[in-house]
Structure 1
Amino acid sequence: MRMTSPDIAAGRLGPDLLAQGFSDIHPPLEAHEALVEADRCYFCFDAPCMQACPTSIDVPLFIREIQAGNPVGAAKTIFEANILGGMCARVCPTETLCEEACVREAAEGKPVRIGLLQRFATDHLIEAGRHPFERAGQTGRRIAVVGAGPAGLSCAHRLAQLGHDVTLFDAREKPGGLNEYGIAAYKATDGFAQAEVDFILAIGGIKLINGRALGRDLHLDELRESFDAVFLGFGLAGVNALGLESEASAGAHDAVAWIADLRQTRDLSDLPVGRRVVVIGGGMTAVDAAVQAKALGAEEVTLAYRRGRESMNASLYEQQIAQTRGVQIRCHLAPRRILAENGHVRGIEMERTRLVNGRLEPTGETVTIEADQVFKAIGQQFRLEGLEPEAAGLALEGGRIRVDAERRTSLPSVWAGGDCVAGGEDLTVVAVEDGKRAALSIDAALRNAALTTPEQAVSAPAFAAAAR
């Protein structure tokens, strides 16, 4: 994505400042620091931190293993619950999950740094080039997993571990989903997303096919005929539009695509950015876009949100990151009109809002913010070219795929998880849990089928071995 406006240019900062702005936001702990931090854990019997983790990682156990000088054991404990524990240690909002639930947070306002301890352990094992698990005996069953993001990778790995053969399809050139294309570069540095994918695939039994999109190259009915089960984990392809005048002007575009472009740019000094940038939205994507625009050299970056700070999906911690890096957060401003001149963005007209009896209302008062670039980060939507969910037999709920507690869809032999399903929290760690739950459900369904129709399946002992 390259801009043509004279106020949008590349190379605003030198290499040293660029490196500083995109350096690892949470440098890893040294071995001694990890031991000191592990000593702070109370190893609570009821472990509220574990209860707060969507993947139910045994936090006290892995911290105790670090304390005992066994980071490999700690990593295995983590990976048993969350095979993407390395990325989750980097991008999870631990401040609102495990660390918020930490007893030391309640007692002292300073929780055990669980996320950094998790990264210490998982990095140790990944860098050692050792995969902690082995495949069970092959079952002869074949499963198609559509989408190589967190949900799909989690599902594929658990199925392969249970002995099934998995074909993993992804529409993009690289696997990883939002871990590769959608996370701020300063959160996952040094090509970690691909290193983690390589680690996951090292278990064997997973065939990765890139450049194949559902609805374009793949068709659900054909997948159901060719495979014993199908898992859908393709995320959200559509980006919500602002619906404003001049939205198609140069310099007005969606934050998700811009972040993906940034993540795939080899030389950040080649990536253009405006002098004055406005980001519309209040979630993690909005913060990531705003902070990275500032890191590329934008002189003024404003994050505008239609409600108050307390309603932003981005955590207080993420908001603080934005502010400490020079982003101005302005609330109770709703976009009304993009101002353009000669086809290029020149500003955005906002209307002040207020809460009346709990409802957001416009005030009629407008504010104009000068801008060379306007990013929309107001959420994504379920949309796949060539796929009509209802026609395919997939029931929807709230515009996404409806699933039950085991991530089964309304269509027999089809499961789904991650951002594309209803009720999700749009978090990497939740997508990982979805994939894991679906894999266990798929395995159970195939095992039950083997017991009832032995002529069409492998033997029951094979499935019993795979389940152990």
Structure 2
Amino acid sequence: MSDPLPRRPDIRAGRLPAEELATGFADLHPALERHEALVEADRCYFCYDAPCMNACPTAIDIPLFIREIQAGNPIGAAKTILSQNILGGMCARVCPTETLCEEVCVREVAEGKPVQIGMLQRHATDTLMATGEHPFKRAAATGRRIAVVGAGPAGLSAAHRLAMLGHDVTIYDAREKPGGLNEYGIAAYKATEDFAQKEVAFLLKIGGITFETGKALGQGIHLADLRRDFDAVFLGLGLAGVNALGADGEASSGSHDAVAWIADLRQTADLSGLPVGRRVVVIGGGMTAIDAAVQAKALGAEEVTIAYRRGREAMNASPYEQEVAATRGVHLRFHLQPKRIHAEDGHVAAIELERTMIENGKLVLTGETVTIEADQVFKAIGQTFLPHGTEAEGEGIALERGRIRVDAARRTSLEGVWAGGDCIAEGEDLTVVAVEDGKVAAMDIHAALTAADRVAAE
């Protein structure tokens, strides 16, 4: 008897009609209407020493901006927000508020239903952005020039604050569009209608910021040159490396990096032309795994499974994000670690996983395996920092746990070089944390330059 013919991978575009695609990629949280915002703002207790404010990485005065909304002044509320977080519009869309400000809201603690802080923040910032005006004025030019490498949240935040203080800023980025994670890494249903680019355009209205795209550190620009030609350098390099599965057959066709796939999806003008498998397996337990799985389902994949090596409680994705995936038809399976990708004619046909358990506090393999048929496998098991271009001077920038070591002011081991965002040892893979890094570094750069000017004048 002859061997059975290999199973053909079922990966194709146009699995769903345009109407269903539009529904699947519609705004996850449609904006509040004015009356809805007023009603929600009225629920706030305006706590003294508010726990929500303490939980916000950028220290937005949440009770104040909600009171301003309640008083019918969303523009004022937006200024309060943006004075602390210039990317407050995007953060309102993508921040895990359920584990930050809203988790400690007194309403949540007492009633299990927090004030919708994120939605109110979006209402305020969207209202201001719709006016086309920028809320801040640039200080008198200082004559100082700062280079920012990386146009992600950290770099944009640093650039805006420095420009507002009167410095001239040049931002370098390897990609064609600024925005970093906000443009290339956020699920499309969380930031609709090209919001990332609209926010960048809004930010640039401060003046004093120029972009140079298609330039990466070590490729087109060099740290030694930047240190020579500019008064300060800020590195917001992000995480360019991707962890490997460490499973046999990982190089098979149909095995993808989830981060790159999401970036491609975000830049696709016609989602109906984006191929997706009928059976998709995503490996990982963080936000990227959730975003990849939900979007694969929204493209028309019939079976989408997230496989995570630990238990549900250990997932980096919040319970809310897990619920989003489950309600969209994604299967979440736990205590499964990839062992082997089975391929037919070089293409993924299935993935074999080994069951795990926790023993004496450690993850151990049990020897029992499970096989799941798949046309595509996406790995979303974390990214790594690639120090390309930072090693050029002497021993290069000091690293800690594989990322750039910084102090509380975000100063690196190299004189005149600051860093922030995911590339630093304290990075938390959150837009709001990266924004705070950029702001803190900008204020320290300004203080350092101002002090140098005073010394020179004496």
TM-score normalised according to structure 1 size? 0.95
**SS of equivalent residue, structure 2 residue 217:** coil
* Structure 1, gaps ≥5 residues long: 456-468
Once the two structures are TM-superposed, the CA of residue 243 in structure 1 deviates from its matched residue by: 2.1
Partner of 2:221: 218
Partner of 1:142: 145
- State whether structure 2 residue 417 is matched by structure 1 residue 450: no
CA distance in 2, matches of 1:73, 1:135: 19
- State whether structure 2 residue 289 is matched by structure 1 residue 286: yes
**SS of equivalent residue, structure 1 residue 246:** coil
Partner of 1:29: 32
CA, structure 1 residues 389+301, in 2 after alignment: closer, same or farther (shift >3 Å)?
Answer: farther
CA, structure 1 residues 166+386, in 2 after alignment: closer, same or farther (shift >3 Å)?
Answer: closer
**SS of equivalent residue, structure 2 residue 352:** strand
Once the two structures are TM-superposed, the CA of residue 393 in structure 1 deviates from its matched residue by: 2.5
1:50 to 49, 53, 78: 53
- State whether structure 2 residue 438 is matched by structure 1 residue 435: yes
- State whether structure 2 residue 103 is matched by structure 1 residue 109: no
CA distance in 2, matches of 1:344, 1:391: 45
CA distance in 2, matches of 1:308, 1:392: 41
Once the two structures are TM-superposed, the CA of residue 386 in structure 1 deviates from its matched residue by: 4.9
Q: Which amino acid aligns with 1:388?
A: E
- State whether structure 2 residue 100 is matched by structure 1 residue 97: yes
Once the two structures are TM-superposed, the CA of residue 6 in structure 1 deviates from its matched residue by: 4.1
Partner of 1:172: 175
Partner of 1:127: 130
Q: Which amino acid aligns with 2:402?
A: G
- State whether structure 2 residue 288 is matched by structure 1 residue 246: no
**SS of equivalent residue, structure 2 residue 216:** coil
**SS of equivalent residue, structure 1 residue 260:** helix
Superposed CA offset, 1:422-451 (max 9, x none): 022110000000000000000000011111
- State whether structure 2 residue 399 is matched by structure 1 residue 396: yes
Partner of 2:81: 78
- State whether structure 2 residue 341 is matched by structure 1 residue 338: yes
CA distance in 2, matches of 1:334, 1:11: 32
* Most deviating of 391-400 and 341-350: 391-400
Once the two structures are TM-superposed, the CA of residue 388 in structure 1 deviates from its matched residue by: 2.8
CA distance in 1, matches of 2:119, 2:394: 46
Partner of 1:459: none
Partner of 1:228: 231
Q: Which amino acid aligns with 1:362?
A: L
Once the two structures are TM-superposed, the CA of residue 392 in structure 1 deviates from its matched residue by: 5.3
CA distance in 1, matches of 2:51, 2:394: 44
Q: Which amino acid aligns with 2:69?
A: I
CA distance in 1, matches of 2:389, 2:253: 28
**SS of equivalent residue, structure 1 residue 99:** coil
CA distance in 1, matches of 2:254, 2:152: 29
CA distance in 1, matches of 2:393, 2:33: 52
Once the two structures are TM-superposed, the CA of residue 96 in structure 1 deviates from its matched residue by: 0.3
Q: Which amino acid aligns with 2:126?
A: D
Mapping of 1:376-387 within 5 angstroms? 376-387=379-390
Superposed CA offset, 1:118-169 (max 9, x none): 0000000111101000000110000000000000000000000000000011
CA distance in 2, matches of 1:346, 1:183: 28
* Structure 2, gaps ≥5 residues long: 1-7
- State whether structure 2 residue 263 is matched by structure 1 residue 263: no
1:200 to 199, 203, 227: 203
Mapping of 1:4-19 within 5 angstroms? 6-19=9-22
Partner of 1:411: 414
CA distance in 1, matches of 2:457, 2:208: 23
Q: Which amino acid aligns with 1:224?
A: R
Percent identity between the two aligned chains: 75
CA distance in 2, matches of 1:22, 1:160: 35
Once the two structures are TM-superposed, the CA of residue 384 in structure 1 deviates from its matched residue by: 4.5
The size of the alignment, in residue pairs, is 451
CA, structure 1 residues 92+149, in 2 after alignment: closer, same or farther (shift >3 Å)?
Answer: same
Once the two structures are TM-superposed, the CA of residue 453 in structure 1 deviates from its matched residue by: 2.0
**SS of equivalent residue, structure 2 residue 37:** helix
CA distance in 1, matches of 2:73, 2:43: 17
Q: CA RMSD in A?
A: 1.0
Checking the alignment, whether the CA contact within 8 Å between 1:10 and 1:271 is kept in structure 2 is yes
Checking the alignment, whether the CA contact within 8 Å between 1:237 and 1:384 is kept in structure 2 is no
**Structure 1 segments of 4 or more deviating over 6 A?**
none
**SS of equivalent residue, structure 2 residue 372:** strand
* Most deviating of 350-359 and 245-254: 245-254
- State whether structure 2 residue 357 is matched by structure 1 residue 354: yes
1:67 to 50, 66, 70: 70
Q: Which amino acid aligns with 1:178?
A: L
CA distance in 1, matches of 2:282, 2:124: 36
Mapping of 1:357-376 within 5 angstroms? 357-376=360-379
